[in-house]
Amino acid sequence: MDHKVHIDKIKNTELIKAPFELLYIENFLEEETFNDLINDSEINVSDKTYKDDVLINELVRKNYEIIPFPGTTANKDDYIRWRNSEKNKNDGLCEGIGLTFRLKESKSKCVSNVLNFFKSEEFFDTLNEKFKSNWNKEKYYYDGGIQKYLDGYEISPHPDIRKKYLTWMLNINPFENSENEDIHTQYLNTNKEKKYIDLFFKYNMSIDRCWIPWDWCESVFEQKKNNSLVVFSPSFDTYHAIKCNYNHFKGQRTQIYGNLWYEKDLKYPLFNWQKLDILKGLEDQVEIKNQRSKKFL
């Protein structure tokens, strides 16, 4: 894998301005490297039995581990029960309950070479320069790797918490026609009635940004292309979301996923999304007043 080729791609690609500022590059890895990667036995995992427990055991055997991750559970038994139920979990934001795996350690030379690039200071420094930020190696820390997401994984629209400095996702889906599957990250804007939420997140720096309902946003761009890379620096309007509904036995939604985080002890209180629904609050107040008025009629 030629690091210089990929560094040059990042340097020479202009940032997209809508739906928000982000870096988007198709065919990021060279064709040979990409084909070797998605055909590697650590990445290309399938199960012809169509049984969740068999697939999960196979992923564990391939050195994957279940990790706590937003939009998913870390309990495989809960996940299997949900898969066998009517799948009616709904907290007002998400309807699903997925399962996320991360490759603990690669034994493959191809996979290791690609991962090493995404963990390199050269990669971090290039992104820092691209997004015109002040990279301080002692201030930030890295987290990421190769991740697989089973059916049901869902995160409703959110701009990401303030602690996250940079995030990137490279699609490496190891099955045919992955672009046509319902597995892709969506990048969104708030709709006209909810634009005030952007300003709320922008100017209220003492609270953290939260998830919001799907119908408060409009999808602008969907990252469907295999071997496509997206990078952005979370801000008040960087809404993105995902809802997986697919057959994970023929192959799993797979990404090289990573973040640079601000220092570990940085924390903000999380704001309750329901309090952002100002119109609903006004409607409730009007209804209460109407009910009180009826008592005197």
Phi, psi angles (nearest 5°) of residue 240: -145, 160
By the 8 A CB rule, do 101 and 64 touch? yes
Query: pLDDT tens digits, residue range 184-219?
Result: 999 999 999 999 999 999 999 999 999 999 999 999
Residue 141: domain span: 3-294
What is the pLDDT at residue 85?
85
The total number of structural domains that make up the chain: 1
Least confident of 27-36, 77-86, 104-113, 264-273: 264-273
Least confident of 31-35, 232-236, 257-261, 283-287: 283-287
Task: Kindly report the length of the chain.
Answer: 297
Measure the CA–CA gap between 159 and 69, rounded to whole angstroms.
16
Residues 6 or more apart whose Cβ sits within 8 Å of residue 123: 6, 7, 117
Query: pLDDT tens digits, residue range 131-185?
Result: 987 656 667 889 999 999 999 999 999 999 999 999 999 999 999 999 999 999 9
94 — pLDDT class (breaks 50, 70, 90): confident
CATH number at 75 reads 2.60.120.620
Mean pLDDT within 41-51: 95
